[in-house]
Amino acid sequence: MDTLEAARRWAREWERAWREHDAERVAALYATDASFTTSPFRDPDDPGRYAAWAFSTEEPEPEVTFAEPAFVDGDRAAVEWRATSRGRAGGGETTIAGISLLRFGDDGLVVEEHGYWNVTPEAEP
């Protein structure tokens, strides 16, 4: 699969999965032995397990946008994203914005992801 198309598919599916809190949809985007790191200070994790945990911390229907891939070279791509949501149990509204650095296999599945993000306790435009 072409890397640009794989990155677009990844962004489109992640955006939908996040809005719907569908961890299985996220897991389907990754090779079974993918290296998935959501922050430089966290250990690698299973993408589906991580998504299930992350989605469980916020109310349904967050505002989520994934941009067109910002960079594509060979089997690698970078995609920016942003989400505004309300935490469960009366938590306030937060905005998280980040970028995922991705490497794809020939089948279009992610074999390696490194995420970098920041969060603010207020909704940002």
Output the six-digit token pair for 39. 């922050």
Instruction: Please report whether residue 66 resides in a domain.
Output: yes
Query: Is there a contact between 99 and 80 (Cβ–Cβ < 8 Å)?
Result: yes
Instruction: Please report whether residue 41 resides in a domain.
Output: yes
Q: What is the identity of the amino acid at 4?
A: L
Residue 64's CB is within 10 A of a number of other CB atoms, namely 18
Tokens 């937060």, residue located: 94
Q: How confident is the model at residue 86 (pLDDT cuts 50, 70, 90)?
A: confident
3-class state of residue 97 by DSSP: strand
Instruction: Please report whether residue 125 resides in a domain.
Output: no
Please compute the mean of the pLDDT values over residues 56-69 and round it to a whole number: 93
Instruction: Please report whether residue 97 resides in a domain.
Output: yes
Range of the structural domain that residue 91 is part of: 3-120
Instruction: Please report whether residue 93 resides in a domain.
Output: yes
Q: pLDDT tens for residues 9-40?
A: 999 999 999 999 999 999 999 999 999 999 88
Count of positions (residues) in the chain: 125
Q: How confident is the model at residue 92 (pLDDT cuts 50, 70, 90)?
A: confident
Question: How many domains does the chain divide into?
Answer: 1
Instruction: Please report whether residue 103 resides in a domain.
Output: yes
